[in-house]
Amino acid sequence: MERVVALVDMDCFYVQVEQRLNPALKGTPCAVVQYNPWKGGGIIAVSYEARAHGVTRQMRGDDARAKCPQINLVRVPQVRGKADLTKYREGGAEVIEVLSRFSDCVERASVDEAYIDLTVEVETRLAALGGAKVTEASLPNTHVAGHDREKDGKTLSDWLETTFNEATLEMHDRRLAVGAVIAEEMRQAVYEDTGFRCSAGIAHNKMLAKLACGFHKPNKQTILPHSQVPQLFKSLPIRKIRNLGGKMGTLVSEHLRVENMADLLVFSERALQQLLGEKNGSWLYSVCRGFDSEPVSARQLPKSIGCSKNFTGKNCLNTRDKVKFWLSELAKEVEERLIKDKHN
Ligand code: TTP
């Protein structure tokens, strides 16, 4: 609970990339299709306006049009008979660049998602705050899990009040509040610099940050304090947790006859290890208690690949043939590295 981790996820990302290219699509029911002649191709991204009409991913283009006749369908471009995702990848890279201004530790998790370890920046800002409090004014698009006015009778403002009360000695929630202020700034910077809207989750680890991000979308962010985990996990299906959406989650649910995360609390670490092996068993034992030690690994694509060689003194390139030879050698090295990088 010493760390502060944010997960930023772009809203209906491929749609936003297309809307930026063609602003007439903004604010309209719109979807991106990977075209093939069968029923208008498969939908891979849906604007929130189209979702309101019941359009979902995986529908065929024709079915989407039947649900929402005014929908704008944009096709993914094709190059050499294959989907060309370059513009989406490049859009994602633009976002990573903006996020990297806020932390040295940014992990690009997918084309439109990144984890950011904000721990260092949070500590700096907490120190700068002195005794001052974080207020609602600096969290205009923020929710806190378990603090929904209608459902829980409590609000973000109540949470901030308790968190920054002088009698509150625990610093965990204060860290999250400051992390959320930084996340608001990051999301604003992403919007200003790229035109893209995104959502975020703020928590003490990657698993909780990812979970929280999905609670309020689009263009919103959610803090998930550790103290909310027990209540939340009582009714949270196991498949909703990162890494438990597939085979491992099904194995756990079926073998242990459990449905929700909190149902796992009765099992010993040994029992979970017997089912899943040592590593995954221990991981699940921690995760169902709201802990996840996986670090955010600063992993971003290099900005450029190049190679060079100094030709000093008697090694200077004094003939056309020498220049040609060395240019060719350096070019081969760059080629090899580019190919290797592509496969990494
Ligand atoms: P997601 O982040 O899963 O979804 P999204 O950004 O479209 O919508 P949301 O606001 O709910 O997060 O996926 C990111 C992009 O990846 C999406 O815009 C299109 C692409 N994608 C596919 O091409 N195929 C798929 O099966 C999925 C899940 C996504």
pLDDT > 80? residue 35: no
- Per-residue pLDDT of 240-277, as tens digits, reads 999 999 999 999 999 999 999 999 999 999 999 999 99
Q: Could you tell me the pTM of the whole model?
A: 0.86
The stretch 184-202 carries a mean pLDDT of 98
Confidence of residue 170 (pLDDT cuts 50, 70, 90): confident
CA distances from 18 to 21, 46, 111, 328 (A): 5, 11, 15, 40
* Ligand 1 atom closest to residue 14's alpha carbon, by position in its atom list: 18
pLDDT > 90? residue 173: yes
Per the CB < 8 A criterion, the answer to whether 116 and 103 are in contact is yes
> Which residue's CA lies nearest to atom 29 of ligand 1?
44
- Expressed in angstroms and rounded, the spacing between residue 15 Cα and the centre of ligand 1 is 9
Residue-level pLDDT at 163? 94
Q: In sequence order, what E strands does 138-216 have?
A: 142-144, 198-203
Amino acid identity at 99: L
CA–CA gap between residue 242 and residue 83 (Å, rounded): 27
* Ligand 1 atom closest to residue 16's alpha carbon, by position in its atom list: 18
What's the CA angle centered on 211, arms 208 and 217, to 5 degrees?
135
- Residues paired with 73 in a beta bridge: 31
- Expressed in angstroms and rounded, the spacing between residue 250 Cα and the centre of ligand 1 is 23
- Ligand 1 site-directed mutation target among 9, 19, 46, most atoms within 8 Å of CB: 9
Confidence of residue 81 (pLDDT cuts 50, 70, 90): low
* Ligand 1 atom closest to residue 10's alpha carbon, by position in its atom list: 6
- Per-residue pLDDT of 90-149, as tens digits, reads 899 999 999 999 999 999 998 899 999 999 999 999 999 887 899 999 999 999 999 999
Amino acid identity at 148: D
Region at 249 (left for phi over 0; alpha for psi -120 to 50; beta for the rest)? alpha
* Ligand 1 atom closest to residue 113's alpha carbon, by position in its atom list: 2
pLDDT > 80? residue 304: no
Residue-level pLDDT at 340? 66
